[in-house]
Structure formats: structure tokens, C-alpha cells
């Protein structure tokens, strides 16, 4: 009788617990097979898009994609050295600003800047990006309202003391005047996947890394045009802004960049960049 009770009241929940735990371990192991050692300290970061199998097996690019000769333009070595130095010197003058002038500029420049971003490489050439350019004051005000509301909560509740303390020297807070002052705002959405012409899912490999590289191109283009920006990553605002801008659920907001001229008397923090020997290791 005692043995019988023991079985019913103790072993049953224990067995249920063990089975659940084994299932959990097994599922985790399946993930590891794809993503490698998924321990936080070891794993290679990888976008967690759905990598599930599909029934159709037509590639996303044309199956008979031609491979054509590259026509490289080979420069003399001294010109290469000079170009690399000049490009560094130009890019080293770039500064992020938070204090914009309302002065506008021709939209053609915005078009060229976004065209440049669109030349970035992407996983299996999926080009997983949408650039939303906002010029309308009405829309800028709506975006500002969403962001300031979320940012106030971020600063006051979510980010914690370490984060807000780290931001203090940069003098930032949840008031984002530039959102309604800068002539243009570019919101950069990543596309986690899309659809092929036959309606099947097209997976966008490494979409977040590809998108961020494209934003690197975008920033270089903004700077090349003689304009200024601020690279921001609106925390927790994605769903509300996505819905405001009527973007599909396959897109997620990652970056927001105001673009324009600096305000008169614009100040920037007196930051310095690490010298080469602190960021390079040679073998």
C-alpha cells in the first residue's frame, strides 16, 4: 500500500518532470547542431530567422545565374596608398551630432545616399532592407511622440543605472528634438524574409548584419555629401512605428537616422578614437 502510494504521489510528477527536461535538452541540442555551441560566451552570433525546411527547392536566385568576367580597374600601388589615406582622413572627420538645423537640401541627395546603401553586400544577395524617408512634419511629430514616450520609460525604468550612468557624459535623454527639426529622417527596417515569385518563402540569411553594413554605407554616403547624422537604435519603438508606417510583419525597425546640417553652435562631446594599435592584431 505504501509502495502503491509512493508510485502515484511521488514518482508520477517526478517522471513528468524528467520527461519534460529531456525534451528540453533534446530541442536545445537540435538548435546546437545548426548554430554550434550556443553557450552565451561561445556562439557565433547569427540571426534567428526561420531556417526551417520548405518543400520547394528552387533557389531564390535564378538557377542558371550566369557568371561573367569581372573587369577590375587596377590602380598603381602609390595611388592605392594615397586613396586609402585620403579616404581615412575624410572619414575620420565624421562626427555624430544631436543638434540639427532645420535647413533642408534637395531630395536628390537623399536618393543618392540610399542608392549607395543599396550597394552593400548581403547574405546570398537578398538585399534585406527598406529605407523609409520621412519629410512630412505630421509624420515626424507622430514618430517623435512614440519615441519620446518609450524613451522616457527606457531611461526611467528599463535601462537601469549602469546604462543611464554610461550615457550621462554624452548628455542624452529622452527628449529627441532632432526628430522634428532635421529635414529628413531615415528609418531603416530589416526584412527577416520575403516571398519568391511563386509565393514560397525567401529566407534572408544574416539579415541584421547585412542591414548594419548597409547603414555603414549610408553613413559614409551622408558624410561624403557633406551632411550630418546620428546613428540611433530606437529601443522598444519598433512595433508602434512599424504600424504607423504601415510596414509588413516581415520587417523590423533597427536604425533611425536624422539627416541634415548641424545647428549653429552645435556642440559635440570631445571624444577620441582608439589609435590603430588598440584595434589591430597582426599574425
- Write down the least CB distance from residue 26 to a second copy, Å: 16
Q: Does 115 bind a second copy (CB under 8 A)?
A: yes
- The only residue of 18, 111, 173, 175 in contact with a second copy, by rule CB under 8 A: 111
Q: Taking CB under 8 A as the rule, which mask of x and - marks residues 145-184 in contact with a second copy?
A: ------------xxxxxxx-xxxxxxx-------------
- Write down the least CB distance from residue 244 to a second copy, Å: 9
How many residues lie near a second copy (CB under 8 A)?
Answer: 156
**Site residues (CB under 8 A) for a second copy, limited to 195-214:** 203, 205-206, 208-209, 211-214
Q: Does 34 bind a second copy (CB under 8 A)?
A: yes
What element of type H or E holds 77? helix 77-91
Residues ≥6 apart with Cβ < 8 Å to 85: none
- The only residue of 3, 26, 77, 198 in contact with a second copy, by rule CB under 8 A: 77
- Write down the least CB distance from residue 222 to a second copy, Å: 9
Q: Does 51 bind a second copy (CB under 8 A)?
A: yes
Residues ≥6 apart with Cβ < 8 Å to 129: 117, 118, 122, 188, 189, 190, 191, 210, 211, 214
Q: Does 4 bind a second copy (CB under 8 A)?
A: no
- Identify the three-state secondary structure at position 100: strand
- Write down the least CB distance from residue 152 to a second copy, Å: 14
Q: Does 54 bind a second copy (CB under 8 A)?
A: yes
**Site residues (CB under 8 A) for a second copy, limited to 252-271:** 252-255, 261-262, 265-271
- The only residue of 22, 23, 91, 175 in contact with a second copy, by rule CB under 8 A: 91
Rounded to whole angstroms, the Cα distance separating 237 from 151 reads 8
- The only residue of 3, 197, 199, 273 in contact with a second copy, by rule CB under 8 A: 273
- Write down the least CB distance from residue 91 to a second copy, Å: 5
Q: Does 141 bind a second copy (CB under 8 A)?
A: no
**Residue-by-residue DSSP string for 3-57:** HHHHIIIIIHHHHHHHHHHHHHHHHHHHHHHHH----TTTPPP---------S--
Which residue in 189, 194, 207 sits closest to 254, CA to CA? Answer: 189
- Write down the least CB distance from residue 248 to a second copy, Å: 10
Q: Does 6 bind a second copy (CB under 8 A)?
A: yes
Buried b (16+ CB within 10 A) or exposed e, 75-106: eeeeeeeeeeeeeeeeeeeeeebbbbbeeeee
* Residue 8 dihedral angles phi and psi, to the nearest 5°: -70, -45
Q: Does 105 bind a second copy (CB under 8 A)?
A: yes
Q: Does 17 bind a second copy (CB under 8 A)?
A: yes
- The only residue of 183, 238, 258, 260 in contact with a second copy, by rule CB under 8 A: 238
Q: Would you tell me the crossing angle of helices 107-117 and 207-224 to the nearest 10 degrees? A: 140
- Write down the least CB distance from residue 82 to a second copy, Å: 9
Rounded to whole angstroms, the Cα distance separating 243 from 96 reads 28
Q: Does 194 bind a second copy (CB under 8 A)?
A: no
The alpha carbons of the chain give a radius of gyration, in whole angstroms, of 25
Amino acid at each position: 500500500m505504501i509502495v502503491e502510494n509512493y508510485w502515484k504521489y511521488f514518482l508520477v510528477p517526478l517522471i513528468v518532470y524528467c520527461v519534460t527536461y529531456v525534451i528540453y535538452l533534446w530541442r536545445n541540442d537540435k538548435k546546437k547542431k545548426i548554430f554550434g555551441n550556443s553557450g552565451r560566451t561561445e556562439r557565433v552570433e547569427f540571426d534567428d530567422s526561420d531556417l526551417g525546411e520548405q518543400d520547394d527547392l528552387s533557389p531564390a536566385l535564378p538557377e542558371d545565374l550566369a557568371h561573367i568576367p569581372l573587369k577590375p580597374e587596377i590602380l598603381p600601388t602609390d595611388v592605392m596608398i594615397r586613396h586609402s589615406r585620403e579616404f581615412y582622413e575624410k572619414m575620420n572627420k565624421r562626427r555624430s551630432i544631436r543638434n540639427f538645423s532645420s535647413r533642408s537640401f534637395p531630395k536628390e541627395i537623399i536618393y543618392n545616399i540610399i542608392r549607395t546603401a543599396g550597394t552593400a553586400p548581403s547574405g546570398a544577395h537578398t538585399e534585406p532592407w527598406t529605407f523609409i524617408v520621412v519629410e512630412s512634419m505630421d509624420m515626424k511629430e507622430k514618430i517623435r511622440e512614440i519615441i519620446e514616450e518609450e524613451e522616457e520609460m527606457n531611461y526611467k525604468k528599463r535601462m537601469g543605472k549602469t546604462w543611464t550612468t554610461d550615457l550621462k557624459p554624452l548628455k542624452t535623454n529622452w527628449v529627441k528634438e532632432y526628430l522634428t527639426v532635421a529635414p529628413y529622417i531615415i528609418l531603416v527596417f530589416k526584412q527577416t524574409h520575403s516571398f519568391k515569385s511563386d509565393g514560397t518563402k525567401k529566407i534572408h540569411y544574416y539579415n541584421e548584419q547585412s542591414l548594419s553594413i548597409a547603414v555603414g554605407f549610408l553613413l559614409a554616403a551622408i558624410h561624403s555629401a557633406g551632411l550630418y547624422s546620428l546613428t540611433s537604435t530606437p529601443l522598444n519603438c519598433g512595433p508602434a512605428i512599424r504600424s504607423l508606417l504601415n510596414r509588413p510583419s516581415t520587417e523590423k525597425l533597427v536604425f533611425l537616422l536624422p539627416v541634415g546640417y548641424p545647428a549653429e553652435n552645435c556642440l559635440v562631446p570631445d571624444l577620441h578614437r582608439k589609435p590603430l594599435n588598440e584595434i589591430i592584431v597582426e599574425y
